[in-house]
Amino acid sequence: MKEFSVGLFNDSFPPSIDGVAQTVKNYAENLHKKDCRVTVVTPKYRDAQDNYPYEVFRYPSIPASSLVGYRVGVPFDPETLLQLHKKKFDIMHIHAPFASSVLVSTLNHRHRVPTVLTYHTKFDIDLEKRITNTAFRKLATEFVSRNVNAVDEVWVVTESCGEALHNIGYDGPYRVMENGTDFPKGVASPEAVVALRENYDLREDVPVFLFVGRLMWYKNLKLILDSLKLVKDGGQPFRAFIIGEGYDAPAIEQYSVELGLENEVTFTGPIRDREYLRTFYSVCDLFLFPSTYDTCGIVVKEAAACDCPSLLVEGSCAAEGVIHRQNGFLAKEEAASCAAAITDAVNDRRLLRQVGVRAGESLYLSWEDAVGRAYDRYREILEKK
């Protein structure tokens, strides 16, 4: 079969930093390496610099940072539709069931091509937290459900993500297609680790904690800070880094100060240099990711790539495949429980290192392998067509 044209549609893409944006970026890079004709279709950003070996097609957008944390595309722009029709995609892959789904559905009215949608996020929880009006929330949930039901094949990033998909009214089949990480297996160079420790005056005998992600309250950052406050009150010294940006960043930083954590917790802002970010994971003793919002948590795989174990909420999607004190640490979604798990972990540094190694062995998945599976499935879909 000849090589084919793939349209990757998502509501976020760099310079916006989130897990799904990084997913689409890595899909594009690895599909391009397989000689696919790749076009990423995503909203316009004023400061975007798309210096990629594949095409990035940006269409008009409006700001919606207070609601969703990034810009929202306008899917009915006539010029956008005209230009995209000319692309003649063989397959279209949606990564967000909002503007991207509407855009793909509109395109498919004229030239029907196979469509795949990956469900990355627990949108039922997302909508419940963001829309207080019950009637509007019901309409929004139905909107997402219609968009999911409109595609030819649905993928989910974890089995528990598939279960969450049923909560919004989807009752069809789905295929689990895991996300990966672009980090190579292993820690950063010794020189980079030493330089980072010197730059932040990090002592070897003081544990280092880390969070990486969008700075939005729904990522459970209040739980992280409340837990760290209890760890500090219990007499355990530590340093913690919170890396990322987001609409709630100022409020989150202010709350950290109110808790008296300004000497322990450092907010670095976003770090776009992936190798530099990898150094933070390599220095880190425990990655803190008690999010119940995320369905996968690519950052957990990033930590595992560096043999760094994660603290997760038991029963969360991000905790799928994690066994307490075997390849990670689990706690209830409560500050006291998380603080106890953190303290327990750092009190046995030998066990902490062993759990990190086992995390690397069991949770790591490269993007090359993850996208390779997707590429094979694309071909199967097109051959059936």
166 and 228, same domain (yes or no):
no
CATH (domain of 84): 3.40.50.2000
Q: Is residue 73 part of a domain?
A: yes
Q: Is residue 185 part of a domain?
A: no
269 and 318, same domain (yes or no):
yes
Number of folded domains in the chain? 2
204 and 65, same domain (yes or no):
no
The closest alpha carbon to 212, from 183, 255, 241, belongs to 241
Which residues form the domain of 165?
Answer: 5-180+366-384
359 and 284, same domain (yes or no):
yes
Peptide bond into 207 cis (omega under 30): no
Q: Is residue 271 part of a domain?
A: yes
298 and 375, same domain (yes or no):
no
206 and 58, same domain (yes or no):
no
97 and 228, same domain (yes or no):
no
Give this prediction's pTM. Answer: 0.85
| Beta-carbon contacts of residue 25 (< 8 Å; ≥ 6 apart) | 13, 14, 40
Q: How far, in Å, CA of 227 to CA of 243, rounded?
A: 17
**Torsions phi, psi of 381, nearest 5?**
-65, -45
Collapsed DSSP state (helix, strand, coil) of residue 74? coil
pLDDT at position 133: 72
Please count the CA atoms within 13 angstroms of the CA of 263 that sit on its side-chain side.
4
| DSSP code string of 330-376 | EE-SSHHHHHHHHHHHHT-HHHHHHHHHHHHHHH--BHHHHHHHHHH
pLDDT at position 368: 97
270 and 370, same domain (yes or no):
no
pLDDT at position 47: 83
332 and 370, same domain (yes or no):
no
Q: Is residue 164 a contact partner of residue 295, using CB atoms and an 8 Å limit?
A: yes
pLDDT at position 111: 73
Tokens of 160: 């528990």
pLDDT at position 126: 64
pLDDT at position 65: 56
**Torsions phi, psi of 243, nearest 5?**
-115, 125
303 and 165, same domain (yes or no):
no
Low-confidence ranges of the chain (pLDDT < 50): none
pLDDT at position 194: 98
Determine whether 68 is exposed, middle or buried from the number of CB atoms within 10 Å of its CB (0-12, 13-18, 19+).
Answer: middle
For tokens 């316009």, what's the residue? 44
55-59 and 61-64: which strand pairing? Answer: unpaired
136 and 285, same domain (yes or no):
no
Q: Is residue 306 a contact partner of residue 208, using CB atoms and an 8 Å limit?
A: no
Q: Is residue 341 part of a domain?
A: yes
37 and 125, same domain (yes or no):
yes
Helix 190-200 vs helix 274-283: crossing angle, to nearest 10:
80
Strand order across the 329-331 sheet: 265-269, 239-243, 208-212, 286-288, 310-313, 329-331
Q: How far, in Å, CA of 347 to CA of 116, rounded?
A: 46
